[in-house]
Amino acid sequence: MKRAIFLDRDGTLNIDVGYLHKLEQLELFPWTGDALRLLKRAGYLLVIVSNQAGIARGLIDPKFVEVAHAEMRRRLQAAGADLDALYFCPHHPGGSVPALSIDCRCRKPSPGMIEDAVADLGIDPRQSWVVGDKWLDVQLGQAVGAKSILVRTGWGAQQEQDRPQGQQVDAVCDNLIHAVSVILGGTP
Ligand SMILES: [Mg+2]
Ligand SMILES: [Zn+2]
């Protein structure tokens, strides 16, 4: 069984611009390549799990998500940190595109994307981590028995101030490179 880092995308790997819908808006954080390369070198698979409700809302062309992910991989490959898989949820119950406006099994914090990755890639979620800038990322990790980290980039600093009652988390970190030091060092 393999270990993986399940990565939120917007606000965790790249600047969250709202609904990313053109390539000029795609800006990785300066540390993202280094962070992912360190995780890869430590033997973790790198898997993006991203809610893209803008597709259900008609604000993002689903084909653009593929273009953005190809460009992201191209930049990360150059940093020696290629991704192993990318999953995204195009749904939202309040969307405007009828076929996508459903209560799906994959919109975080529902675990559908991780369940698919576990089946596709042979991952043990209990040896894996979820890293993201929202509590729903942390809750996703908890839903599958993974450890989870909230990063303060993107929405994270605000989310930290707005912690749901009783919400647990393995660590809160300044950014992805700090999260890597926790994952690899074993101490929060
Ligand atoms: Mg995010
Ligand atoms: Zn979905």
Q: Which ligand number lies closest to the CA of residue 102?
A: 2
Model confidence at 163, pLDDT cuts 50, 70, 90, reads: very high
| β-pair type (85-89, 171-173) | unpaired
Model confidence at 151, pLDDT cuts 50, 70, 90, reads: very high
Report the separation in Å between the CA atom of 145 and the middle of ligand 2, taken as the mean of its atom positions. Answer: 20
**CATH T-level assignment (fold) for domain 4-185:** Rossmann fold (3.40.50)
Report the separation in Å between the CA atom of 105 and the middle of ligand 2, taken as the mean of its atom positions. Answer: 6
User: Of the listed 8, 16, 133, 170, which one is catalytic?
Assistant: 8
Report the separation in Å between the CA atom of 38 and the middle of ligand 2, taken as the mean of its atom positions. Answer: 30
| β-pair type (4-7, 85-89) | unpaired
pLDDT digits (tens, 9 = 90+) for 124-141: 999 999 999 999 999 999
Indicate if 8 belongs to the active site: yes
Q: What is the DSSP letter of 164?
A: P
Please choose, from the candidates 92, 81, 74, 97, the residue with its C-alpha nearest in 3D space to the C-alpha of residue 26: 74
Please state the domain extents for the chain: 4-185
Report the separation in Å between the CA atom of 91 and the middle of ligand 2, taken as the mean of its atom positions. Answer: 4
User: Of the listed 10, 16, 137, 170, which one is catalytic?
Assistant: 10
Please return the burial class of 28, using the count of CB atoms within 10 Å of its CB with bins 0-12, 13-18 and 19+. middle
pLDDT digits (tens, 9 = 90+) for 55-88: 999 999 999 999 999 999 999 999 999 999 999 9
Indicate if 10 belongs to the active site: yes
Helices (H) and strands (E) counted in the chain, each on its own, are 7, 6
Rounded to whole angstroms, the Cα distance separating 127 from 106 reads: 21
Contact 117, 2 (CB under 8 A): no
pLDDT of 173 above 90: yes
